[in-house]
Amino acid sequence: MTDTVTVLGINGRIGQFAAKAFIESGWNVIGFGRSNRAQFEGFEFCQGDGFELADVKRAIADADVVIHALNLPYDRWEREAEQLNKVVIEAMKGTGKILIFPGNVYNFSADTHRMTPDAPQTPETAKGEIRKRMEDDLRDAAEQHGFKAHILRGGDFYGPGSEGSWFDLGIAMNFKRRQITQPCDGETKHSWAYLPDFGRAFEKVAAKRDELGAFENFHFHGHFVTGNEMADAIQRVVPEPYAVKKLPWWAFSIMGLFQPVIREVIKMRYLWQSPQELIDPKLDAILGDGFGTSFERAVAETTLSYLPETELEKLKGMKRAPVLA
């Protein structure tokens, strides 16, 4: 009998890439959202509101595994993120199902440079405190109310056509001007999660669910690279050298006076000033040897998805193919 997964938040970046990975692995996939904006096939759409308990219960009724990929705009976190999480927890109680939740690095201090699953969680910001409380609630509920909850933590997400990420809104923001923007000083390393790989990691963890405990905290290593390494990888894809410019954080500060989302982004600047590497041998063993896309190829595929048409035209006939071979 084929296993079934419900992806709560099918329209989001993680939701879409996770759903694609489950589809490719032969699962029955149910995608939940207020509307169906996913640009691919292979899943059954279930319409509903993540804040409505009855809707969430209906969405997960036939699922063996639930991916909790519901998310909110930055400026709504403090008002609504925990409420949304509590609805999902209530729906999961007593079901015996497994819930997998995408975690991030907000839970850790800037001084935590090696983020192992057992590293102390001492958040730097209010958003980090929220994320920690949400994960604590998932752990407590799983241990007490008859379901499993697993955290799959990754760095900054990026991938082809993944809008709303630091890659497209920051690094690639001036590709039309033939510029690469660096949010950091160039030498500081940063953790990245390539979304096609991160999505496949959800399926790999789900496939091992019978061997895992009530609560697990996994750290997805991804690509841990400097700003200069990211810029160099992009340079190897674009048709001619791009100028590398530092992100004008001062301009963001001014924009933040009028735009709540930008104001919240500025609060997380410390993530670009401190190297934080995600480390987890247990997850590495689950994923297996050879798992994951090379950094060069991941950057190439992502970069090509954001290049203006004029730049793509220049690439035709140029010897840029080997990076994607």
CA distance 214 to 99: 10
Domains, the chain, with CATH or none: 4-158+191-223 (3.40.50.720), 166-189+225-274+294-311 (no CATH)
- Count of CB atoms within 10 A of residue 287's CB? 19
Q: Tell me the per-residue pLDDT of 246-283, one tens digit each, with 9 for 90 and over.
A: 988 766 677 667 677 667 777 778 888 999 999 999 99
The pLDDT of residue 248 is: 81
pLDDT at 323: 60
Tokens of 309: 């048409």
The pLDDT > 70 percentage for the chain reads 95
Residue 320's pLDDT is what? 56
Which whole number is the average pLDDT over 60-67?
A: 98
Q: What is the pLDDT of residue 180?
A: 96
Dihedral-angle region of residue 79 (phi above 0 means left; psi in -120 to 50 means alpha; beta otherwise): alpha
Question: Which token pair is 152?
Answer: 């799959």
Please name the residues in contact with 28: beta carbons below 8 A apart, sequence gap of 6 or more.
2, 3, 4, 5, 44
In this prediction, residues 140-162 reach a mean pLDDT of 96
142 or 184, which is more confident: 142
Interatomic CA distance for residues 24 and 194, integer angstroms: 17
Please report which confidence band the pLDDT of residue 162 belongs to, taking 50, 70 and 90 as the band edges: confident
Let me know if 88 is exposed, middle or buried by CB neighbors in 10 A (0-12, 13-18, 19+): buried
Kindly state the DSSP code that residue 229 receives in the 8-state scheme.
Answer: H
Q: Give pLDDT tens digits for 76-132.
A: 888 899 999 999 999 999 999 999 999 999 999 999 999 999 999 999 999 999 999
The answer, yes or no, to whether residue 51 has pLDDT greater than 70, is: yes
pLDDT score, position 319? 60
| 311-324 tens-digit pLDDT | 988 888 776 544 65
- CA dist 87 and 289 (Å) reads 37
Backbone dihedral angles phi then psi of residue 254, each to the nearest 5 degrees? -70, -45
What are the pLDDT digits (tens) for 4-36?
Answer: 999 999 999 999 999 999 999 999 999 999 999
- Overall average pLDDT of the 145-161 stretch: 96
Q: Is 159 helix (H, G, I), strand (E, B) or coil?
A: coil
What pLDDT is stored for residue 176 in this prediction?
94
At 116 the pLDDT is 98
221: left (phi over 0), alpha (psi -120 to 50) or beta: alpha
- 319 burial (CB, 10 Å; 0-12 / 13-18 / 19+) is exposed
Phi and psi for 246 in degrees, rounded to 5?
-75, 145
What digits encode the pLDDT tens for the residues 198-225? 999 999 999 999 999 999 999 999 999 9
CA distance 214 to 107: 21
